[in-house]
Amino acid sequence: MFIDEAKIRVKAGDGGNGCMAFRREKFVPRGGPSGGDGGHGGDILMRSSLKHNTLVHFRFNPEHKSDRGIHGEGSNMSGAAGEHLILSVPVGTIVYDQETGDIVHDFQYPDEQVVIARGGRGGRGNQHFATPTHQAPREHELGRPGEERHLRLELKLLADVGLVGYPNVGKSTLISVLSAARPKIANYAFTTLEPNLGVVKVGDFPHEQSFVIADMPGLIEGASQGLGLGIQFLRHIERTSVLAHLVDVSDGSGRLDPVEDFKVIAGELKDFGHGLENKQVLVVAAKIDSANPDKLKKLQTYAKRRKLPFFAISAVTGEGIEPLKFALGKAVEEFRAGVPIAPPPPPPAKKHKSPYPAPLASKKSSR
């Protein structure tokens, strides 16, 4: 099951309460206060992982809590801190604050880790309230509550190449030929109901290159207004470096003008926004094994006039597949040359001043 959206509630652990206690031991008539501090509540962290490719584990488990801190005890014993809770998300997940709409973090690289809810501070025991004039304090602090947040998770698959086009133009067949992906293939519209990913390898060792290709559900006219299926999945190609726009040039599609088909889908991508209209596009004439020569020539002329790379392929016979694969690999390589491959180093951590007063230095005897 492919789930690319989820809403969750996270609650970090509360801090433990500080203890009020007095030292009671033989031969110590005035032991004084000995209440320990409460432990800090556990934080909730989120980490990106390559082991996950969907948010299904959040859809059916929306509540996440970390452990609270243990209360302080007598004899100046502090309570243990609560265990941190780490939630794993797929690379490409964007975390939004549901109440404000702000982006909490965008996980673009593996093994990124951020704190999304901080645990509460533990309360101070009565040992911290002793003064020369107040030697038997009965004051102590309660633990602070942990942070609680309502978050919305949105997954955008990290693919290098996106396949777009009308339904039943051969996108699923093409991705099955280029990679080891095995999507559902059938001769009817909207066969693809969710995005499919495949890894394409270009060249031979030691100069082998690989890139990820994504097959999107087919688009139709009016998709940007909610018609069809593909518009809800277009977020998954926002981060692609190149788009392969497939156009059916055979007579079996029932559509008469391939250029008009190209313009309609290009218009839907522009209406969706998010920079899709500015991406590099390769025009791919599909199903040339049964192509209408007039349609093929008309689409090729239009691509040449628009100065768009043009490829004619047949996923059934294999004609034109290798030139297309190498062209996609070259486009991805050129795009990667200007994109950092590692996340920027995190800023240096700020030193937080301790909320507790510094202990008084003991004076050594001069004797």
- pLDDT, one tens digit per residue, over 308-339 is 999 998 888 888 889 888 888 888 888 877 65
How many residues are there in the chain?
367
- Find the mean pLDDT for residues 269-285: 84
The full DSSP string for 16-80 is: PPPP--B--BTTBTT--B-PPPPPPPPPEEEEEETT----HHHHT--EEEPPPPPPPBTTTBPPP
Check pLDDT > 70 for residue 189. Answer: no
Find the range with the poorest average confidence among 41-45, 195-199, 298-302. 195-199
For residue 366, what pLDDT is reported? Answer: 43
pLDDT digits (tens, 9 = 90+) for 80-113: 999 999 999 988 899 999 999 999 999 988 899 9
Of the candidate ranges 143-157, 177-191, 198-212, 314-328, the one whose mean pLDDT is the lowest: 177-191
pLDDT surpasses 50 at 360 = no
pLDDT tops 70 at residue 253: no
- CA dihedral sign, ordered 51, 57, 59, 65: negative
Q: Determine contact, residues 10/104, Cβ cutoff 8 Å.
A: no
Q: Where are the alpha helices (DSSP H) in 89-170?
A: none
In which band, very low, low, confident or very high, does the pLDDT at 63 lie, cut at 50, 70 and 90? very high
In this prediction, residue 222 has a pLDDT band, given cuts at 50, 70 and 90, of low
pLDDT at 339: 56
Write down the domain spans for the chain: 1-129+145-155, 161-337
Statement: residue 350 has pLDDT above 70: no
Three-state SS at 277: helix
If we measure between CA atoms, which residue out of 83, 66, 72 comes closest to residue 38? 72
- Give me the long-range contacts of 181-186 (CB less than 8 A, separation at least 24): 181/215, 183/215
* Residue 216: band (very low, low, confident or very high) from pLDDT cuts 50, 70, 90: confident
CATH class of 161-337: alpha beta
Q: How confident is the model at residue 361 (pLDDT cuts 50, 70, 90)?
A: very low
Distance, in Å, from the CA atom of 63 to the CA atom of 75, rounded to the nearest integer, reads 37
Residue owning tokens 């099951």: 1
To the question of pTM greater than 0.85 for the whole model, the response is no
349 has a pLDDT exceeding 70: no
Q: Work out the percent of the chain whose per-residue pLDDT is above 90.
A: 35
Identify which has the larger pLDDT, 257 or 185.
257
pLDDT score for 354: 47
Q: Quick one: pLDDT at residue 226? A: 54
Residue 331's pLDDT is what?
Answer: 87
Assign a CATH topology to domain 1-129+145-155: Spo0b-associated Gtp-binding Protein; Chain: A, (2.70.210)
